[in-house]
Amino acid sequence: MTRNSCIIASGSYVPERIIPNSWFNEQLGEDVDTWLQENLTIRERRWMTKDQNVSDLCIEAANRALDMAGLKAADINLLIISTDTPDFISPSTASVVQYKTGMINAASFDLNTACAGFVTAAETATKYIQSDSDYKYVMVIGAYGMSRFLNLKDKKTATLFADGAGAAILTATNLPNKGHLASDLRTRGEYYDFMGIYGGAASHPASAYGFNEEDYRLQFVKKFPKELNPIMWTDMISNVARKGEFEISEIKRAFMTQININQIRETMDNLHLPHETAPAIMAEYGYTGSAAIGMALDISLRAGDLNPGDIFILMGSGGGLTFACNAFRM
């Protein structure tokens, strides 16, 4: 029988600190609340406190996923964390989480495909499980602590980005109608310098170039074509359906990058799917980057939205630009 991967549990966590839109009205001296709610549905978001790190968010999400699965930390064989806001440039955030959760039998590493990271991590976990029987349980976590990198005077970024973590546990299955169906990973590298945090690494270390605060903050340098995400998402989901030999109409849920509600709705329209196929979590949590898809998946699983046999899509896009899509059957 062919060895495949399936998702058996999830967990998510956001900090307790709530930042409502009204806070920005006061900080910026203008009404941003109306625009945020009317165009993005955002009412509030969660930010870490000064004594929290991204690894702390991961630990909470990881423990909740372990509880759902009925597993112990020592049962995990591999931990993959996707984040572009790590605790340190080096060592990996995964090593911190591996130690602090007690995943004593887990190898670990970080990966960074920005906001496409949770999907990329799930795809990487799938490849490990499919190819090597040593990997029985693999945990993936998408984590985001972008509040640490925001210029609070820049309303284009400060009002949008937020913190959180979403986790999933994958395991092996031999059942023919269960688990991973297909995937599609792509990069549009010509957009690498449009958005990012460009200071602090080897290209621009503070020790060599001095400290310019703007280099260490998230920047929208150039404007992305607004049609790019809907075009890429529509094409990639369609391709995954073709490769996975299922009809688009069979998709029960599509867990999407949560940066723009209108782009999500446009994609659903392109695919002739109801808008509710793609759950939106931005109203309460803002944009949580590489955590958003895992968080949305966890919320749906705990609400009982997915039943055995249902097909769901993970579709992410992030700075770079990187895109990742895969499909699973419950």
What are the beta bridge partners of residue 325? 184, 315
98 and 186 assigned to the same domain:
no
296-320 in b/e form (b: 16+ CB < 10 A) is bbbbbbeeeebeeeebbbbbbbbbb
Average per-residue pLDDT in the chain?
A: 94
Whole-model pTM: value is 0.94
270 and 310 assigned to the same domain:
yes
State yes or no: pLDDT of 1 exceeds 70.
no
55 and 104 assigned to the same domain:
yes
Residues 179 and 74: beta-carbon distance below 8 Å = no
The pair of structure tokens assigned to 208 is 């060599």
243 and 169 assigned to the same domain:
no
249 and 318 assigned to the same domain:
yes
Q: At what angle do helices 33-40 and 261-270 cross, to 10 degrees?
A: 10
CATH number at residue 20: 3.40.47.10
Rounded to an integer, the average pLDDT of 43-69 is 97
Q: Please give the single-letter amino acid code of residue 85.
A: T
Q: Please give the single-letter amino acid code of residue 178.
A: K
Count the domains in the chain.
2
- Tokens 């590489």 belong to 290
Domain enclosing residue 232, as ranges? 179-329
Q: At what angle do helices 292-302 and 54-69 cross, to 10 degrees?
A: 30
155 and 254 assigned to the same domain:
no
Q: How far apart are CA 24 and CA 127, in angstroms?
A: 43
Last residue of a domain, one of 173, 200, 229: 173
Task: Give 254-297 pLDDT, tens digit per residue.
Answer: 999 998 999 999 999 999 999 999 999 999 999 999 999 999 99
